[in-house]
């Protein structure tokens, strides 16, 4: 089943990667960035609707889906969020979009905020779905979070241990992650789920996803800390939406009004942004675009079309 009716499949060659993507619609450019363990298909319930008002671009990140999957290096910069953001910056340039809006989910939100930090002149607005900055996550790991987000440390273990273990039961592993992070009772679209599982069976994708998380435990964290130390902030407005039921980093359920270590969730992003920060919880789990598409669309239409000072 084609979940992206009227979208065109493209493959764009950047300086260091081949990026698979779909484009559709007309209007201001809008970049939608998926997370783990998924592909651009995670936007299937919202992208066609957004395409009624925007030129929508839904890429597969390097290492995922149909995009190229280069081997990692010792410094883990191949899958750093800065490298991934550079891929997408080049994609948008090659598609003719100099200034655009960004919505990211999970790892895609990490790429999105890195893009907003590194290229502030290009990102007009940024929406993070269920993600706070990487360094904030690492600083708040306790027993509950360690159990709920075990994949953060597991995938970051030295190669090839996690790769071999995941490959032995790839479908079971990735199905468990998605089911445990979604709100109880939610059922993924079966066509989309089949696409995710097929993509994540690829040994190169498994290796790339481990590289992604190894970067998160090293170079990504270091770059976040350097930005914070030097006072570098996101200039554009931010919309932050998180899952009030098993969201905000998966099954590590927190009070829907309180964030990491008692901080208001929105205050975390306010510490990273010179512009307006708005948002709130949605009654769903981690996979907001699929679990609560109508609520996400309502928030996005208001945010992406708003006039900000």
Task: Name, in order, each residue with C-beta under 8 angstroms of 59's C-beta and a sequence gap of 6 or more.
Answer: 12, 19, 20, 21, 31, 33, 40, 67, 87, 88, 91
- Give the C-alpha separation, 152 to 237, whole Å: 28
How far apart are the C-alpha atoms of 4 and 182, rounded to whole Å? 23
Q: What is the largest CA-CA distance in the chain?
A: 52
Average pLDDT, the chain: 94
pLDDT digits (tens, 9 = 90+) for 233-288: 999 999 999 998 876 543 344 444 455 555 678 999 999 999 999 999 999 999 99
Taking alpha carbons only, the member of 144, 142, 108 closest to residue 126 is 108
What confidence score (pLDDT) does residue 249 get? 44
Cα–Cα distance, 302 to 158 (Å, whole number): 43
Domains of the chain: 8-304 (3.40.50.1820)
The pLDDT, as a whole number, for residue 307 is: 60
pLDDT of residue 254: 45
How far is CA 262 from each of CA 146, 223, 228, 265, rounded to the nearest angstrom? 17, 25, 20, 9
pLDDT of residue 264: 79
22-55 residue pLDDT tens? 999 999 999 999 999 999 999 999 999 999 999 9
For range 132-148, the mean pLDDT: 89
Closest to 268 in 3D by CA, of 141, 153, 148, 134: 134
For residue 190, name the pLDDT band (cuts at 50, 70, 90).
very high
Average pLDDT over residues 119-131: 98
Q: With pLDDT > 90 as the criterion, what percentage of the chain qualifies?
A: 87
Burial (CB count <10 Å: 0-12, 13-18, 19+), residue 240: buried
Return the axis-axis angle of helices 190-201 and 203-216, rounded to nearest 10°: 90
Q: What is d(CA 189, CA 45) in angstroms, rounded to the nearest whole number?
A: 9
In this prediction, residue 144 carries a pLDDT of 81
- Quick one: 176 exposed, middle or buried, by C-beta within 10 A (0-12, 13-18, 19+)? exposed
What angle, 0 to 180 degrees and rounded to 10, lies between the N-to-C axes of helices 203-216 and 219-229? 30
Distance CA 24, CA 57 (A): 7
Q: Give burial (CB, 10 Å; 0-12/13-18/19+) of 118.
A: middle
Tokens at 244, concatenated? 């009030």
Average pLDDT over residues 220-228: 99
299-305 mean pLDDT: 97
Q: What is the dihedral of CA 223, 229, 234, 239, to 10 degrees?
A: 90
Question: Which residues form the catalytic set?
Answer: 106, 286
Predicted confidence band of residue 171 (pLDDT cuts 50, 70, 90): very high
Query: Which pair of structure tokens corresponds to residue 221?
Result: 């964290």
| pTM: predicted TM-score of the whole model, two decimal places | 0.95
Overall average pLDDT of the 10-14 stretch: 98
Mean pLDDT is lowest, of 115-124, 151-160, 241-250, 274-283, for 241-250
Rounded to an integer, what is the distance from CA 83 to the centroid of its chain? 14
Give the end-to-end CA distance of the chain in Å, rounded to a whole number: 43
Which pLDDT band holds residue 138 (cuts at 50, 70, 90)? very high
């Amino acid at each position: 089943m084609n979940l992206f009716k009227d979208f065109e499949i493209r493959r764009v060659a950047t300086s260091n990667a081949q990026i698979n993507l779909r484009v559709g619609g007309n209007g201001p450019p809008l970049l939608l960035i998926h997370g783990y363990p998924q592909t651009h298909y995670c936007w299937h319930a919202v992208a066609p609707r957004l395409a009624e008002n925007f030129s929508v671009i839904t890429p597969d990140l390097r290492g995922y889906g149909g995009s190229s999957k280069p081997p990692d290096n010792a410094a883990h910069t191949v899958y750093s969020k800065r490298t991934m953001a550079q891929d997408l910056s080049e994609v948008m340039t090659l598609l003719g979009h100099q200034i655009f809006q960004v919505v990211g989910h999970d790892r895609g939100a990490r790429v999105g905020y890195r893009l907003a930090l590194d290229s502030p002149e290009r990102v007009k607005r940024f929406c993070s779905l269920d993600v706070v900055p990487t360094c904030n996550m690492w600083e708040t790991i306790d027993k509950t979070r360690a159990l709920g987000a075990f994949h953060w440390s597991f995938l970051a273990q030295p190669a090839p241990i996690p790769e071999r273990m995941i490959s032995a039961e790839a479908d079971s592993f990735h199905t468990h992650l998605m089911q445990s992070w979604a709100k109880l009772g939610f059922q993924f679209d079966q066509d989309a789920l089949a696409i995710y599982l097929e993509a994540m069976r690829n040994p190169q994708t498994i290796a790339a996803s481990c590289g992604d998380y190894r970067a998160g435990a090293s170079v990504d964290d270091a770059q976040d800390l350097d930005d914070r130390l030097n006072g570098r902030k996101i200039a554009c407005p931010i919309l932050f939406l998180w899952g009030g039921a098993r969201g905000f980093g998966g099954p590590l359920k927190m009070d829907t009004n309180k964030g990491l270590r008692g901080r208001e969730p929105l205050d975390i992003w306010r510490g990273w942004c010179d512009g307006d920060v708005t948002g709130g919880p949605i009654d769903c789990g981690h996979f907001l675009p699929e679990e609560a598409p109508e609520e996400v669309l309502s928030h996005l239409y208001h945010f992406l079309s708003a006039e900000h000072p």
